[in-house]
Amino acid sequence: MQDIDRLIDDILAREIRATTREEMATFRKELAAGTLADDDARYVRALHARIVGGGLPKAQDAIEESQADTKPADIDALRAALAQSQQREKALEAERDRLQRLVGDLRKEIDALKAEKS
C-alpha cells in the first residue's frame, strides 16, 4: 500500500474539488493507521488513473484500433491492454460500490434529520 501514498500525492498536486481533497486526507490518515479499506485503495488507484493517467481513451480511437489488422506480434500488446482494461473495470466497480455506500449513509443521515425535526 506504499504506492497509495504516492498516488494520493499525485492526486493532491492537481486541481481537484475540496471534497476530493478532504477525502484524500482521510485516506492518508487511514493508510498511516493501517485501516485503509481495500475498496478505498482501489478507488484511489482508479481516481489516479483517471486524473493523472489521462482517463479513458476516446471511443473513436478504440474503434479505429479494433479495425486495424492484428498481427501475431500484437497479441502481447492486446493482452496487456485487456489486463489494463480489466484492472480499470475493477477499480470503477470499487468506486461505484463506495459511492453507493456513501449514498446509503447520506440517506440514513437525511432520515435521522427528518426524524429530529418531527
Which pLDDT value is given to residue 58? 47
Residue 108 grid cell: 440514513
Torsion angle in degrees (nearest 10) through CA of 102, 107, 109, 115? -170
Q: 35 or 66: which carries more pLDDT confidence? A: 35
pTM score over 0.75: no
Give the SS3 label for residue 59.
helix
Which pLDDT value is given to residue 2? 72
Q: Give CA–CA dist 25/76, Å, rounded.
A: 38
> What proportion of the chain, given as a percentage, has pLDDT over 70?
82
Q: Where are the domains of the chain?
A: 2-117
Name the residue among 26, 9, 4 with its Cα closest to residue 102: 26
Q: Are 11 and 52 in contact (CB under 8 A)?
A: yes
